[in-house]
Structure 1
Amino acid sequence: MSKSLLVLSGGHPYEAEPFEQLIHSLGDWDVTHLVHPEAEEAVGEGAAKDADALLFYDMGGYIFADDWVTSRPPSEAYRRAIIDRFASGRGAVAMHHALAGWADWPEWHDMLGGRFLYTPGKVRGAPSPDSGYRHDVDYTAQVVADHPVTAGLPAEFPMCDELYLAHVFEDDVTPLIRSSHTFTRDNFYSATLAISGTLYSNEGWEHPDGSNLVAWHKQVGAAPLVYLQFGDTPETYANPHMRKALSNALHFIAGETP
């Protein structure tokens, strides 16, 4: 009997057909795919409560307009539904731009184990510059833990993907995979400059060196959460090692060891 997988997306552009192919390539799952804003309402009404696995490929809470971005917190019903799911012991996997979602819900980022900032703000009470991004980075992914999520992966494998220079709360997580890329200001572009109309620039932007961690596991109360930084393009979706890691992660958080 197949298990149920609920996928949440929306709030950030992606290529829909290749992504659909990805989420239906991960094993014998009964897949339900919900897109924001309908996804937020459905989860608030209980859609995530009984799903065996939950995949966040969304970036909720933003409105991009007039070369700027505004944000809002999730509905109380959505917030309560996610917290209650983790409290019940049911886990989740989060991918890629989920690290930037729900900017006005700090608890979300504590659950994820990191945070991407589109504009300068505060992270855990400390001032922080906006985060950095870099598309189409060719790098070597390096497995750093013997873990169900990394089972069957080679010690190193090639990736081409967008990377982030963002906050990773390494003290709170179990590292799984690191990137060979160098996570310094000179190798990334400013997110704030991008949304204000100047793409691919770091002029006048400063950011401290960041973590090269691109996959981790952490506990959220009684439940497991896995974050995979992979996931920007169809090329990434098609990478067999990325698919293996994602499939492993979903089975792991659903209580199955690959």
Structure 2
Amino acid sequence: MPTIDYRAPLKALVAVRGHPFDRNAFAALFDGMEGISATMVDQPAAAQLMNPDGMAPFDVLVLYDMPGLDFAAETDRPGYVDPGEAFRTGFTALLEQGKGIVALHHAFAGWPAWPAYADALGGSFLYRPGPLRGRDRPDSGYRHQVEYTAEVVAPDHPVMAGIPATFAMTDEAYLGEVFEDEVTPLLRSSHAFTRDGFYSATAAMEGRMFSNEGWSHEEGSNLIGWTKRAGNSPLVYLQPGDDQITYDNPVYRRLVENAIRWVASPEARA
């Protein structure tokens, strides 16, 4: 919508950039969400607003960004960029304030140089092997256009309101690091989250797209949606969200809308 909706009862700041996406198709995801105004702000400018003062006009922060990765680095691509003390302090204060957060898809890979960010989201996608929570971890896996069945595992949760018990998805899947014992599961995928079902992220960075040759990764979590507390903030992470196929999926649209409404609610913050 080209005009500004000053009267919407629920205002969301939507942080974008850092990973390729169809901007117009993604913006259309929010069309039809009655009473919700979504304002897209690109990184790195979006990071300047992720603090209590910057987010004061907004009820919800939606993360569809992937900051902190330098894909033009000469070695060890992508380079890991530290978010800086101002961002770390401001974002931590935002979580302590209890602002609701919805994180989508590639936001899972954001700010790898700051481990507390992965703690807040409930896991991380690793472009390169490295330490995570005191353990050496392999690079994560990706696979585009995966056809799978999503299964609701928390049917009574408000984010699952109106969502069928199972539904078909075609989307990019991640074999990443999920802190499953620290989250409340919402959705699981029928896809096999094993090494053979994915490609190596590091191989892709080295110019070997769609390869898992020489890459090993143990079986991972098939959890693709969860909620958790991040400080005092209610947070929902939804792993789907790669492209227009998913944006146009009415079930996915309902999931994102439900998540925005729930994290903004007094019940979620209580």
TM-score greater than 0.5 by the shorter chain: yes
- Match for 1:163 among 160, 168, 173? 173
Partner Cα distance (2:86, 2:37) in 1: 25
- Match for 2:249 among 228, 231, 239? 239
Q: Give the secondary-structure state (helix, strand or coil) at the position aligned to 1:23.
A: coil
Is residue 94 from structure 1 mapped to residue 88 from structure 2 by the alignment?
A: no
In structure 2, the gaps of 5 or more residues are: 1-7
Q: Give the secondary-structure state (helix, strand or coil) at the position aligned to 2:202.
A: helix
Aligned length: 258
Partner Cα distance (1:54, 1:42) in 2: 10
Check the 8 A contact 2:52/2:97 in 1, yes or no.
no
Partner Cα distance (1:12, 1:44) in 2: 23
Q: TM-score, normalized by length of structure 1?
A: 0.95
Per-residue deviation, 1:81: 2.1
Write out aligned runs for 1:1-258 (5 A): 1-43=8-50, 46-65=53-72, 68-145=77-154, 146-255=156-265
User: RMSD of aligned C-alpha atoms?
Assistant: 1.7
Partner Cα distance (1:45, 1:170) in 2: 29
Check the 8 A contact 1:87/1:221 in 2, yes or no.
yes
**Which contiguous aligned blocks of 4+ residues in structure 1 show a shift greater than 4 angstroms?**
none
Change (3 A) 1:83 1:49: farther
Change (3 A) 1:6 1:94: same
Partner Cα distance (1:21, 1:47) in 2: 25
Check the 8 A contact 1:49/1:81 in 2, yes or no.
no
Deviations 1:20-43 (A, max 9, x none): 111334332222210012212343
Check the 8 A contact 2:52/2:94 in 1, yes or no.
no
Q: Give the secondary-structure state (helix, strand or coil) at the position aligned to 1:251.
A: helix
Per-residue deviation, 1:57: 0.3
Change (3 A) 1:53 1:110: same
Partner Cα distance (1:192, 1:109) in 2: 19
Deviations 1:170-222 (A, max 9, x none): 10000000000010000000000001100000000000100000000001122
Percent identity between the aligned chains? 49
Q: Give the secondary-structure state (helix, strand or coil) at the position aligned to 2:187.
A: strand
Change (3 A) 1:41 1:223: closer
Q: Give the secondary-structure state (helix, strand or coil) at the position aligned to 1:138.
A: strand
Per-residue deviation, 1:90: 1.5
Change (3 A) 1:227 1:45: closer
Q: Which amino acid aligns with 1:186?
A: D
Partner Cα distance (1:33, 1:256) in 2: 24
Per-residue deviation, 1:223: 1.7
Partner Cα distance (1:141, 1:209) in 2: 18
Partner Cα distance (2:122, 2:45) in 1: 26
Check the 8 A contact 1:9/1:59 in 2, yes or no.
yes
Per-residue deviation, 1:44: 5.6
Change (3 A) 1:45 1:224: closer
Q: TM-score, normalized by length of structure 2?
A: 0.91
Moved more, 27-36 or 174-183: 27-36
Check the 8 A contact 2:51/2:94 in 1, yes or no.
no
Deviations 1:58-82 (A, max 9, x none): 0001111258210112132222222
